[in-house]
Amino acid sequence: MTVPVIPNDRARHIFLSKHGLVDAPTGTGKGADLQAAVDDLGFVQLDSVNTFARAHDLILWSRRQQYRPAHLSNLLTVDRGVFEHWTHDASAISMAHFPHWRLKFARDAVWLESRWKEWRRDDFTKKIDEVLRHISDHGSCTSGDVGTDEDRGKGGWWDWHPSKTALEYLWRSGQVSVVRRENFTKIYDLTERVIPADALNARIASDETVDWACGFAMDKLGFATSGEIAAFFALVTPAEAREWCKNAFADDTIIEVDVAGVDGKLRRSFARPDMLDLTLPKLSTRVRIMSPFDPALRDRKRAERLFGFHYRIEIFVPAAKRQYGYYVFPVMEGDQLIGRIDMKRQGTTLGVTAFWPEQSVRMGAGRIKRLQGEIARAARFGGCDDVRYENGWQRT
């Protein structure tokens, strides 16, 4: 049988629609509206870098421009609509998914106990009961509250003292949870004190979790390979995702499609049968400054195939070898990535160092005006009173 082809322009439209980037970024960005946005995405990646806004806040702001950072904090600490744990990285995850994360807790416990014994100094497992007892007796704590008599080490971010390693292990294995953050520092408490009873007490079989995770990923990506399905939550193994695709294809709940890249090359993928006839909402032409970790862009290879956008963060690249800035933000207009911008907060001013348009993008007066309008909105979001453009900020 002939495999249907999804043209590149429709593939981009489908993909952005599935990621909440087709409609204009309206909504209150708090309470039930914010919960709906997170539920729709499934999770929001957390990141500590804060040049003018943290990555997770920028992800939500690009979809709800009335959103403010305190709103996600309230969702975590007051409403308990999300919990913090690991997908491919640290993330705020919809609380409705907590029962499914028990599979990840169990798998992480086995994997980390084996690997961290080799990778971390001393034997952190000897500290697990002591740290757990400390939290049980004294309440919530940070990594600085445990192992106070232990050598902190000078090996950088990952040179953890044994009690901190034990605390992180307890979090990754689900025995403690993040109750709140202060200045982005995680504060932990016993999971039974943090997670609402209905989510805490629910139990779901492993095979049901695998089916749910693969189905959710399929629906959120619109079209995907089994590897992309496995990578979405990083909750199931590649082998489990392949088996799910095999069975779903046999049951006619997914079909094979060829997705055209921006270069015309076809990539064999899976999709729901109704994807070919899906009625898509009208695409907003709004210019959006995006997080480098936006769920629509975090798979760099897919972003390059679909949009022709080659993006790498150059934080760890020596300054003399950087093509762009230290930490630049992708800029999207409609279904096109038009460039990247280097800007950061300088006191109460947002300093714009440079904007590099993509080679195929013409920066006419109208487009520059729309870009500057978004920069002004970003400045207000970042708590800045004004914007300062460096000489020559419009690069070629």
- Residues 11 and 264 sit within 8 Å (Cβ to Cβ): no
For residues 158 and 35, what is the distance between their CA atoms, to the nearest angstrom?
A: 33
pLDDT at 123: 79
Per-residue DSSP letter, 389: E
Longest dimension (CA), the chain: 68
For residues 92 and 72, what is the distance between their CA atoms, to the nearest angstrom?
A: 9
pLDDT at 18: 96
- What digits encode the pLDDT tens for the residues 158-170? 567 889 989 999 9
Cα(first)–Cα(last) distance of the chain, in Å?
47
Own/partner long-range contacts of 111-115 (Cβ < 8 Å, ≥24 apart): 112/169, 112/172, 112/173, 113/169
pLDDT at 153: 63
Residue segments in the chain with a per-residue pLDDT below the cut of 70:
118-122, 152-159
Tally Cβ neighbours within 10 Å of residue 306. 24
- What digits encode the pLDDT tens for the residues 317-361? 887 888 887 789 999 999 999 999 999 999 999 999 999 999 999
For residues 197 and 203, what is the distance between their CA atoms, to the nearest angstrom?
A: 12
pLDDT at 154: 58
The alpha-carbon radius of gyration of the chain (Å, integer) is 22
Domains and CATH numbers, the chain: 121-195 (1.10.10.10), 287-389 (3.40.630)
79 residue type, one letter? D
Tally Cβ neighbours within 10 Å of residue 250. 9
What is the β-pairing status of strands 43-45 and 90-94?
antiparallel
- Residues 198 and 190 sit within 8 Å (Cβ to Cβ): no
The pair of structure tokens assigned to 197 is 């009873």
